[in-house]
Amino acid sequence: GDLVVRVGVTVLLIGVVLLLRLVSDYIEVSIASKLLAIGILGLGLAALGLKLAKNRFAYGITLQGAGLAIAYLTTFFAYSVYQVLPSLPSFIGLGLLSAITIALAVRQNAFPLALLALSGGFFAPILTSEDTGSLVVLFSYYLLLNVAIAIIAHYRPWKILNLFGVTVTFGLAYYWGISENLSTVIEAQRWSLVLLVTLHLLLYLFVVIRYAQQIIAYNTLNKT
């Protein structure tokens, strides 16, 4: 049932990543057109999932999460790998995707949707296997995703989603921080990176405090 659907969705996301990496080699259509088509496919999948969730909730939210994850992946590839989308439109697009993810996840109380969709966003830089270049841009991108997690955390006490965001963000920060080949990049962008790390720390301090408030409120309600 749901397990089969989620395994299928995982395979689908891996297939989309492979497709995105190979589209420029084997299909004689402009990169922008290919990426646009895949992005529309992802949004269409999310819309289909929203419609199906009325009757088959688990199946519908899984499709929504997968569709939004594809949209995140496509947007990041368009900006970072193929450079067909400037930075401002790409961040606006990612902001809109984050807003849609927040609205759908909170409204439907759908943790799998949020986790699937944001996984596409968080793992996009890892799956590209490209030179990170500007770490400031990369962690600004992650900051946008973590803001989405913080807003969701304000409404829903989803501890696994919070742990996922902080683990991926600070895990990659630590990995790149000890990478010798990036020492020059880090030195050149030091103060911007310090600011971004500080913002991430403050963001997750809010998440921790908000989670504690939710647990206290839940325990108080149960005692009464």
Question: What integer pLDDT is reported at residue 223 of this predicted model?
Answer: 78
What's the CA angle centered on 66, arms 4 and 3, to 5 degrees? 15
CA–CA distances in Å: residue 169 to residues 5, 10, 90, 195, 204: 28, 21, 20, 15, 11
Instruction: Find the helix or strand (DSSP H, E) in which 145 lies.
Output: helix 135-155
Residue type at position 182: L
pLDDT tens-place values along the chain, 224 residues long: 466 666 677 777 777 767 766 665 666 667 788 788 888 988 998 999 999 998 989 888 988 998 998 899 888 888 877 788 888 888 889 999 999 999 999 999 999 899 989 988 898 887 665 545 578 888 888 999 999 999 999 999 999 999 999 999 998 888 776 765 666 767 778 888 889 989 999 999 999 999 999 999 988 888 76
